[in-house]
Amino acid sequence: MVRHGETPWNAEGRFQGHYDVNLSPEGLHQAYRVAERLAASGNFFDGLYSSDLQRAALTTKPIAEALELQPIYDQRIREIYAGKLQGLLRYEMEAQFPEFQWAVRTDPWHTPRPGGESMADVAARVQIFLDELPEGRFIVVTHGGVIRASLKLVLGLEGNVWRRFQIGNTSITRLVYPEGVALSVGDVGHLEAWADWLSDEVTMS
C-alpha cells in the first residue's frame, strides 16, 4: 500500500477527505521516487489499484508507467469522507466543531466527521476491497486513513493502536493478507537524502 504524494493541503494542514486536491510539485517528485523504487525492487506485481481521487491517481501514473501496469480505480479505497471538515485547518475545526473534537478523542474509531464518515465506516468498505482481491501481489495507491484502517483490520489491532502509525506521503506499507502480517509500515527510504547517491557509479573515497 502506497500513500499518495504531498498536496498543498497536506502542507497547510487542511482536512482533505474526498475533496479532489492536486499534488504539489514536491508530491509529484515523491511519486516519481516511489515509482523508481518499486520498479527497482525486482518484484513482480499482479496488478495496480488506486483510489479514484486525483492525488492518488496522479501518484499512480508514474508507477503504472514504470511497471507497465494498467491501474484499476476503486472508490472503496478513497480517504475518509470528512464532511463539513473538508477544507478546514485544525484550529478552524476546533472552533467550529468543539463537540466533535471531544467525541473523537473519546472514540476515534466510531465517531463520524460532521456530515461524514467514521473510521469504522472506512474500514467496512476497505474490508470488502481486501476480501475481493485475488491471490497475488498488488500495489494499492491510497490514503493515510485507509492504510491505518487496513493495518487495524489485517493485524487485528485492539483499541486505538492504529492511530500511532506514521504514514507519510508515498510511504510504503507491506501487508500479507489474510495471514495478518505487516512486513513494513510507513517506509519512506526512497525519499531519504542518501537515496540520491545509492545507485551512483562513482566510487566514494
What are the catalytic residues?
A: 4, 79
Q: Report the C-alpha dihedral over residues 147, 151, 157, 158, rounded to 10 degrees.
A: 0
**Edge-to-edge order in the sheet of strand 2-3:** 71-73, 47-50, 138-142, 2-3, 172-176, 181-187
The one-letter amino acid at 200: D
d(CA 52, CA 120): 20
User: Which CB contacts under 8 angstroms, 24+ apart, belong to 39-44?
Assistant: 39/66, 39/67, 40/199, 43/137, 44/137
* C-alpha grid cell, residue 134: 485475488
The one-letter amino acid at 13: G
